[in-house]
Amino acid sequence: MAIRLAVLLSGSGTTLQNIIDHIERGALDATVACVIASRRDAYGLERARKHGIPAVALPRKDFPDDAAFNDAIWAEVRRHKADLVVLAGFMLLLHVPDDFRNRIMNIHPALIPAFCGKGMYGHHVHEAVLEHGVKVTGATVHFVDEEYDHGPIILQEAVPVLPDDTPDTLAERVQAKERELYPRAIHLFAEDRLRVEGRIVRVAP
């Protein structure tokens, strides 16, 4: 039986589209149960509606505090009976309720624990990678905890940094790796093959 995903985003929804594409071509046994955006102008909402997926905007400024904001998000996730929450460019720190511990995934465009944390997203990451002169970067899928880019690592693969790379060219290759890794991690979750032991995630055969 296909697992139900709640996708949380703040922007254009390219990661959402990648997940939808994998589902539609039969490469991922899942269904996107709902999409929640932190911005009303997030194009990811339009992508969801084009595919008949329930979508709602819940801007942080509409709520008196973080607790009320998080309550609204989790009410929506539970209303749609999601099995797994997938962060797809969601730019706000999320509270992790006990019943969703190790049921929230995020993807980061670097090899955590390098080049991660608050403020390190998108081109900020690739610019920092190039400024530091590192020779290898990559992509990481991890479970979410109460800190930015900090939870147990599920999958991680390297991408070489080339001598003539710019933030744009590096981003293109890292994003290609992200498009591979995220559906693979979701697939492993759907098959109940992920075992979390402290900070270690083991993949069962």
For residue 146, give the CATH number of its domain: 3.40.50.170
CA end-to-end span of the chain, whole Å?
19
Exactly one of 22, 80, 108, 142 is catalytic; name it.
108
CA 28 to chain centre: 16
**Which residue among 100, 127, 161 closes a domain?**
100
The pLDDT value given to residue 99: 96
Question: What range defines the domain where residue 185 resides?
Answer: 107-205
The pLDDT value given to residue 148: 87
Same domain, 73 and 127: no
Which residues neighbour 76 within 8 Å (Cβ) at sequence distance 6 or greater? Answer: 6, 34, 36, 56, 58
* 51 given a catalytic annotation: no
Which residues neighbour 199 within 8 Å (Cβ) at sequence distance 6 or greater? Answer: 152, 153
Low-confidence stretches of the chain (pLDDT beneath 70): none
Same domain, 80 and 134: no
Number of domains observed in the structure of the chain: 2
The Cα-based distances of 88 to 5, 13, 14, 41 in angstroms read 12, 7, 8, 15
The pLDDT value given to residue 133: 98
Same domain, 71 and 123: no
Same domain, 190 and 124: yes
Same domain, 171 and 202: yes
The pLDDT value given to residue 1: 82
Same domain, 162 and 128: yes
Q: How far apart are CA 186 and CA 7, in angstroms?
A: 12
Same domain, 93 and 165: no
